[in-house]
């Protein structure tokens, strides 16, 4: 969980980008960070569902940011 929190902190600061620098205009929005969290959570949920992940869900306690 600490690893994801650090990852998200770095993403929020604009230090980690998934696109070429010429396309990255600024740090990702809160909505983008929440969408990424939902996708990561879905991956682990699916892995548990199909029996490929037997450990506790590592992102289970991570909450999405509140948006206005």
Average pLDDT over residues 44-48: 96
pLDDT at 66 over 70: yes
* pTM exceeds 0.85, yes or no: no
Average pLDDT over residues 28-32: 90
Most confident of 2-6, 15-19, 49-53: 49-53
Average pLDDT over residues 9-20: 84
CB 59 within 8 A of CB 4: yes
Share of the chain above pLDDT 90, in %: 62
Token duo for residue 34: 């929440």
Distance from the first to the final alpha carbon of the chain: 25
């Amino acid at each position: 969980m600490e690893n994801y929190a650090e990852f998200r902190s770095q993403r929020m600061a604009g230090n980690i980008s998934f696109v070429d620098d010429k396309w990255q205009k600024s740090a990702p929005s809160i909505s983008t960070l929440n969408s990424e969290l939902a996708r990561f959570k879905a991956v682990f949920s699916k892995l548990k569902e199909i029996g490929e992940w037997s450990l506790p869900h590592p992102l289970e306690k991570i909450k999405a940011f509140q948006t206005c």
